[in-house]
Amino acid sequence: MSTTTERHGEEARPVLTARNVVRRFGGLMAVNDVSFDVRQGEILGLIGPNGAGKTTMFDLLAGSVAPSSGEIILNGVAVAGEGAYRRIGRGLGRTFQIPRPFPNLTLLDNVMLAAQGQAGERLLSNFLRPWKVAEQERVAHAKAMELLDLVHLTRLAHEPARVLSGGQRKLLELARVMMADPALILLDEPAAGVNATLLETIIDRIRDINQRGVTFLLIEHNIDMVTRLCHRVLVMASGQLLCEGTPEEVARDPRVIEAYLGGAA
């Protein structure tokens, strides 16, 4: 595995920045003055014990929750006041710990639905510019099939999504998020509920997509996966950023050991 300084050193520009981000829920401080950068081209891990604030941090970055204070900067643009839909348009994609595909639609249709800026979404275009709608449909179909091939689901392309296992649903969700051409993907526990064989496929697909220039920030409890995939790791505990470094550095940090074994939540 390449080290941070070799491939993703300080000179790599940040594609996403959290600056002094705070989120309160009533009297609960879920995220407390957290700052970090996600650097272009890296795979950055976010770990911590249960209740550390990781999922809330993801919600803040994705735009589904607004910060109580602080800044979130995506490709140089302050986006703390924007919702999730606007951030998708700026190149930020997100997966979820429990994927929820449309169960009665085929895998192909599930992926095609994630295509952005389709003329067919506007009713009048179907009457006034049917040729453009048809052409975009052909392009989206071809792209969706390529992405299903990327995640090794081509043979199931015309099957309903309800037939998929948990691990296959994670792969389908990865194909769906790639359909929107993201520059950065937030991955929420890609290893959760996945058998060992499919986990290897998911790891390989993440590496392949990263080699295409896509940046990743992932929450994960599977430390072996984090160690194998991530160039840097952030550790949260009690809503705060505890430390950051390479997987090896983080694993040796006594604060991390205390957070996991000493009961921090």
Structure-model confidence comparison of residues 130 and 72, the more confident one: 72
Scanning the structure block, which residue is given the tokens 């470094």? 245
Residue 10: predicted pLDDT: 52
Mean pLDDT of 16-21: 98
Q: What is the DSSP string of 18-39?
A: EEEEEEEETTEEEEEEEEEEEE
What are the pLDDT digits (tens) for 141-200?
A: 999 999 999 999 999 999 999 999 999 999 999 999 999 999 999 999 999 989 999 999
- Within a 10 A sphere around the Cβ of 198, how many other Cβ atoms? 18
Residue 134: predicted pLDDT: 74
Mean pLDDT of 208-236: 96
What are the pLDDT digits (tens) for 54-108?
A: 999 999 999 999 999 999 999 999 999 999 989 998 999 999 989 999 999 999 9
Structural domain boundaries in the chain:
4-101+180-261, 102-163
Q: Is the pLDDT of residue 9 over 50?
A: no
Confidence of residue 263 (pLDDT cuts 50, 70, 90): very low
3-state secondary structure of 222: coil
**Residue environment code for 130-148, b if the CB has 16+ CB neighbours within 10 A, otherwise e:** eeebeebeeebeebbbebb
The answer as to CATH 3.40.50.300 being correct for domain 4-101+180-261 is: yes
CA separation for the pair 73, 211 (Å, rounded): 24
- Within a 10 A sphere around the Cβ of 90, how many other Cβ atoms? 15
pTM here?
0.87
Q: Is the pLDDT of residue 259 over 90?
A: no
What are the pLDDT digits (tens) for 28-60?
A: 999 999 999 999 999 999 999 999 999 999 999
Structure tokens at 25: 């829920």
